[in-house]
Chains A and B, each alone.
Chain A
Amino acid sequence: MANADVKPLEVVFWLATLLPFVLAPNYLSLASQIAITALFALSLDLILGYAGIVSLGHAAFFGFGAYTAGLIAKHCWAEPISALFISGVFSGILGYALSHVVVRFRHLALIMLTLGFGLLLHEAANSASALTGGADGLQGFRVPAVLGFKFDLYGATAYAYALVVLFLCFLVSRRVIHSPFGLALRGIRENATRMPAIGAPTRAHLRKAYTIAAAMAGIAGALLTHTTSTVSLETLSFGRSADVLVILILGGAGRLYGGIVGAILYMVARDQFSGINPQYWYFWIGLLLVAVVMFLPNGILGGLSAFRKKHQ
């Protein structure tokens, strides 16, 4: 059983996230993208890694949060923190509504339903172009500053903002995972028929987890809106759902740091290889996926911890 004590390695890791400010000031906007992607992956980890709900449409919540934040900035006010909060709440409400459907299904029907909800929202945003800007995306707004700090050209404010939000959400996830509720989720993942037998309200637990994950994904989407000042239709696409799945699996699902490690590796690699055609980028991603499923079933972190156990 993973214990809840803070390990030294964790402290080192979070201190290391401050290094880009000093060591790579030219890459701060990439760093903020990584933090946002890591938060998105973390939210997927809560339902996929811990509760065992396979989702091919998690971008629905990410995009919903992104559009909510964009619409608030465009039509209401430019203050980001409150908008971030509202986006999270709205995505959570959407997640809660959908969770009533999602938790009742397993296997193919579950995969198809999550995929279907994602596609539905994508098509809806595409069709409602008066509200969302359709295929051109939502433009024409600017979020000037967060808590008095102006968003600068290098992305220092953006990275600090994204990192703080990621850290806070991480603390929440950590608390959730190590609570009895988190333990119950893992129980459901391991055996969905035995858990009700010991009196655990399986579906209520799953609904709760799904809602938290949706809210967190919405916050990640709102962060992207605030740091880039645009919302594209791509935030709702199947491609984004698939990407975050790849990131999480690569890092290691069912581990708190899996999504974060996966996001760092994936985004840095994509940035380094951005010169090549995206189609060929996906060749390597595909190959990597096959390799991970075949040889590294628990992702990079799973592989590392197995390696460490063997050599102790």
Chain B
Amino acid sequence: MLASAAGVLFDGFAYGMLLFLLSVGLTVTLGMMNFVNLAHCSFAMAGGYATVTLANRFGWPFLATLPIAFVAAALLSMLLERTLYRRLYRASDLDQCLLTIGIVFVSVAVFAWFYTSEQQSAPVPEYLRGSVQLLGQSFAAYRIFLIAVSLAITVALVVLLERTRFGARVRAAVDNQRMARGLGIDVERTFMITFALGGGLAGLGGALAIQMVGLDPSFALAYLVYVLIVVAVGGLGSIGGSFAAAVVLGISDMAGKYYFPWLGAFLIYLVMVALLMWRPLGLFGKR
């Protein structure tokens, strides 16, 4: 029992890292730019399908497809930001919700049209398939890889936002658009790049998720709830908060599936509702 507890903890952590990758972009766009983007997981799905296409139709190695997944999702989100989203930055929550739900519906249908609604897979290289023995426990190599990638991205992201000039511009534009404009910051460009970055990270998350949870057109809706929970519980705009929320959610979801399978997702939703009632701005929310 104890040994399996370590396994559950590890699997849950890996799952949490996946959720973090999927949601960190939304933390930025929803939390900082205040745009209720329910289509975030559609970007993730786009990244996932980019990987599937390259790996299966063109025989690219899995690792080489990952940057393309990032770029494809980033371009897609940039395109949508330019054409649709930017007109609604000042609109009500409801309008933003409706627009992005519409985009989710369209994306689900489009991917079902081109790729059918069956589960897709992408072959991963040999060295990521096996498992690693450590202290009498076996850990899936792919999950270790996933954790390593996610941790690296977290560090890079925090450094980017907290320590670079670009990060300073983003924070300034978010905090006070008018003042930032007055200081000569190109707010629109900054927002566009931030949006592309968030969408790209989701795409990368979608590509990495294939091996772990599979990929089919319902992905955009199925993971939307999880991603929203991470962002809302972690606290809007707080990357550290999202990280903590994703880890807690991943581990508790995995533990729930192992130990209380009859409860389904009930526990997760209950915890989310309770946490939101206690702290509507999330655990680490500032505003």
Interface residues of A (CB under 8 A from B): 48, 54, 56, 101, 104-105, 107-109, 111-113, 115-117, 119-120, 123-124, 126-127, 238, 242, 245-246, 249, 277, 279-280, 282-283, 285-290, 292-294, 297
Contact = CB atoms under 8 A, between A and B. Distances in A.
The B contact surface, by secondary structure, is helix
A288 B105 CA distance: 10
B19 interface: no
Contacts of A249: 98
Interface stretch (B127-135, B140-148, B262-270): B262-270
Contacts, number: 117
Nearest to A249: B98
B54 interface: no
A75 B276 CA distance: 37
A297 B236 CA distance: 28
Interface stretch (B68-76, B87-95, B247-255): B87-95
A225 B281 CA distance: 39
A127 B106 contact: no
A291 to B, nearest CB: 8
A283 B228 CA distance: 23
Given A108-B236, A249-B98, A286 B266 contact: no
Given A124-B266, A289-B98, A282 B105 contact: yes
A113 B106 contact: no
21 contacts: A108-B36, A111-B36, A112-B228, A112-B232, A112-B276, A115-B225, A116-B272, A119-B269, A120-B273, A249-B98, A282-B108, A283-B105, A283-B113, A285-B102, A286-B104, A286-B109, A289-B101, A289-B102, A290-B99, A293-B91, A293-B99
Contacts of B273: 113, 116-117, 120
B109 A280 contact: yes
B106 A290 contact: yes
Interface residues of B, number: 45
The A contact surface, by secondary structure, is helix
A277 B217 CA distance: 14
Contacts of A108: 30, 36, 93, 232, 236
A123 B225 CA distance: 13
Contacts of A292: 98
Contact of B84 (A277, A283, A294): A294
Contacts of B137: none
Contacts of B221: 238
Nearest to A292: B98
Interface in B55-99: 84, 87-88, 91, 93-95, 97-99
B282 to A, nearest CB: 9
B102 A109 contact: no
Interface of B: 30, 36, 84, 87-88, 91, 93-95, 97-99, 101-110, 112-113, 117, 217, 221, 225, 228-229, 232, 236, 262-266, 269-270, 272-273, 276-277, 280-281
A113 B275 CA distance: 10
A154 to B, nearest CB: 33
A109 B93 contact: no
Nearest to B229: A112
Contacts of B113: 279-280, 283
A132 to B, nearest CB: 13
Contacts of A111: 36, 93, 97
A126 B264 contact: yes
Contacts of B236: 108
Contacts of B101: 242, 245-246, 286, 289
Nearest to A120: B269
Nearest to A285: B105
Given A126-B264, A127-B262, A127-B264, A279 B98 contact: no
Interchain residue pairs A-B with the least CB separation, the first 5: A286-B105, A289-B102, A283-B109, A286-B106, A109-B280
